[in-house]
Amino acid sequence: MRKYFGTDGIRGKVGTTPITPEFMLKLGWAAGQVFKEHDKKILIGKDTRISGYMFESALESGIVAAGADVRLVGPMPTPAIAYLTRTFRASAGIVISASHNPYTDNGIKFFSAEGGKISDEIEERIEYFLEQPMEVVESSMIGRAKRIDDAAGRYIEYCKGTFPIGLQLSGLKIIVDCADGATYHVAPRVFSELGAEVISIGINPDGLNINEFSGATKPELLRKNVLAEEADLGIALDGDGDRLILVDRHGVVRDGDDILYIIANHLMRTGRFSGGVVGTLMSNFGLELAFSETGIGFSRAAVGDRYVNEKLMQHGWVLGGEPSGHIVCRSITTTGDGIIAALQVLRAMVEEGKTLDELLAGLVKFPQKLKNIRVAKRFVPNEEPALQKAIAVANERLNGLGRVLLRASGTEPLIRVMVEGRDDKTVDELVEYLVEEVKAVVASKVDA
């Protein structure tokens, strides 16, 4: 059991333990103790939230106190840190970010020397040192800190290098929404240097507006701009650049399931696809059905890009993602990358000469409805006999053409009820039925 690390690093409200300067100082020291055993160099990047500067300084102090060196890259997308950690041959990369959360939150993510998420064992090692007294190495052994000035340019060239030489985006008008986050100085340049006409929004971070008005979690502003500018495509990234949501020329918002469908089928049509696709428990049943019709294998992982990556490696597959827009193209990079995923969609559009909506013509999504029930104490719904019976009743009515999912939230005291089916009426009725059954179980636990 880990005390601080969750499924995606350490995250919380700024000023509340563990997201405090004191903790970050100790975390930097603990990380320095672990990673200097392999190499003395640790890379640190961050998104644009105001607290990032405070935590960057604290981490830097802790790392050098442990005797490890630091390389600072400033505001950069999370996937850029994964890439730069590899290219600089660092022993680890640290990202100061709370991803799509508001500026009042922050967090820490670690990358291994290979650019992947660190193992459970390394997290446990870091937590071990967090419990030890902090001792500074001798003055002659204190680490050194340097700033990398060309980090943005390096990452831009890397992204462009994933797009085929000779292929251009000329003739395409694209709206790029950077959520006032870490991609503000990177993403617009990638697409414009590949030939697109780019109109950028969400590129004026002030430390407080990250994810506030725009980005992957709030695509309405992008949708309005796509329609007003009569653009071919809208690209929405989240605050740290690892999520991607698209808007087509008609203003329809397209999620991670749509993106997986486009990339997988384009790879299939061009003879470059092998294996299958990994989705999650939240992936639409229509996506699974569409893949089965085209002979593309499909497997579901638990919710979280970490679990998607684990299942991809387990199967030896290279493409996976979540409806939220975390898309992993393991043949190109080691982690979810919004810019690179967008480039794969644009490649399909250019090489096939089709619009985004035309590429999605074969995907028919099932109506999906999700409701949350707050509980006083978490429990596992599938272990409750009454809910097992209710799920069986719902599945019988769906008759194989839909899905029922009851699960406990991993971060909040909630039970999530999700139903997919062929028609809205059936879905609505089954969601309400299951919600009442969950509430009855909750009430029985309170009475007991």
Q: Which residues are catalytic?
A: 99
CA distance 358 to 261: 12
Q: How far apart are CA 213 and CA 47, in angstroms?
A: 16
Task: Label residue 153 exposed, middle or buried (CB < 10 Å: 0-12, 13-18, 19+).
Answer: exposed
d(CA 276, CA 270): 15
What tokens appear for 86 in the block?
Answer: 């590899």
Are the C-beta atoms of residues 211 and 238 closer than 8 Å to each other? Answer: yes
Question: Alpha carbon of 125 to those of 11, 245, 409: distances in Å?
Answer: 18, 36, 27
* Gap between the Cα atoms of 103 and 52, Å rounded: 10
For residue 414, give the H/E element and its range.
strand 414-421
Q: How far apart are CA 35 and CA 92, in angstroms?
A: 7
Query: Quick one: angle between helices 21-35 and 120-130, nearest 10?
Result: 120
Both structure tokens of 306: 């970490």
Query: 194 in the Ramachandran plot: left (φ > 0), alpha (ψ -120 to 50) or beta?
Result: alpha
Q: How far is CA 357 from CA 253, 264, 273, in A?
A: 10, 15, 22
Edge-to-edge strands, sheet with 319-321: 297-301, 276-280, 319-321, 327-329
- Which pair of tokens denotes residue 367? 């109506």
